[in-house]
């Protein structure tokens, strides 16, 4: 079975309402092919094997769209600590009208992202090698972003602190979290400045899954 067909079948099983075009499926297969090639030299991710990568990388990154939240992901935003470009590379492929700035501190991972961006033909994606501490000091970035993405990066309290630097008033933090999210949300809520719009659990294949949180920065 062609890998594009395997991706399509897995996506349909996990997210029945998610529509992916043939071009997008080809690009997703290409992304995993490139990731395998780079992993052999640089060990970019710990997730190995095609089926695991489809579930943990591709479908996990597509959770906002698979859960029907695509219309809320608009404008321009940042992906903090993006690693191999997840989720922003995958979302940029499916949302060409949205601008994504991928932030990663490790040069080899940024180089991979730029290679994948070029091969996938993306015009709405930029990757930068920079530490968050340094990025926060840059003039012109404060309170400019419509959204911030953070996939399995840090605690909600820390994510809230970083996101608050970059988000416009009313901007959204999209956080991929695990089963302890409620405790983390309680800690962030106690500090004020955030409202919880959505907390949507999802189950992927091979035992993977999580909770997608959508939080809004209050004025």
Query: Binding site for S-adenosyl-L-methionine, residues?
Result: 81, 86, 132-133, 151
Judge contact between 204 and 176, C-beta under 8 A. no
Contacting residues for 173 by C-beta, under 8 A, at least 6 apart: 147, 148, 150, 159, 160, 163, 167, 194, 213, 214, 215, 216, 217
Residues at the binding site are 81, 86, 132-133, 151
Distance CA 102, CA 156 (A): 19
> 129: which strand partners?
104
Distance CA 170, CA 71 (A): 16
Residue 74's Cα: distance from chain center in Å?
A: 14
Q: Give the DSSP letter string of 203-216.
A: E-GGG-EEEEEEEE
Helix/strand/coil for 119: helix
As a 3-state breakdown, the chain gives helix, strand, coil percent values, each rounded to 5, of 45, 25, 30
Cα→Cα distances 183→39, 106, 155, 177, 186, Å? 35, 30, 10, 11, 5
């Amino acid at each position: 079975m062609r890998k594009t067909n395997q991706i399509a079948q897995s996506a349909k099983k996990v997210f029945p309402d998610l529509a992916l075009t043939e071009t997008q499926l080809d690009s997703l297969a290409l992304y995993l092919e490139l990731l395998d090639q780079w992993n052999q030299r640089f060990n970019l991710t710990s997730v190995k094997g095609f089926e695991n990568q489809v579930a943990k990388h591709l479908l996990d990154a597509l959770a906002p769209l698979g859960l029907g939240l695509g219309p809320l992901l608009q404008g321009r935003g940042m992906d903090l600590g993006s690693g191999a470009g997840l989720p922003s590379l995958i979302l940029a492929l499916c949302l060409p009208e949205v601008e994504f700035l991928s932030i990663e501190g490790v040069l080899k991972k940024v180089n991979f992202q730029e290679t994948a961006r070029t091969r996938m033909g993306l015009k709405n994606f930029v990757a930068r090698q920079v530490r968050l501490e340094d990025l926060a000091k840059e003039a012109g970035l404060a309170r400019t972003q419509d959204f911030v993405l953070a996939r399995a990066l840090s605690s909600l309290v820390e994510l809230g602190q970083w996101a608050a630097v970059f988000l416009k008033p009313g901007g959204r933090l999209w956080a991929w979290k695990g089963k302890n999210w409620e405790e983390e949300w309680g800690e962030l809520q106690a500090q004020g400045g955030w409202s919880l719009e959505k907390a949507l659990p999802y189950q992927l294949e091979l035992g993977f899954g999580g909770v997608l949180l959508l939080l809004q920065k209050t004025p």
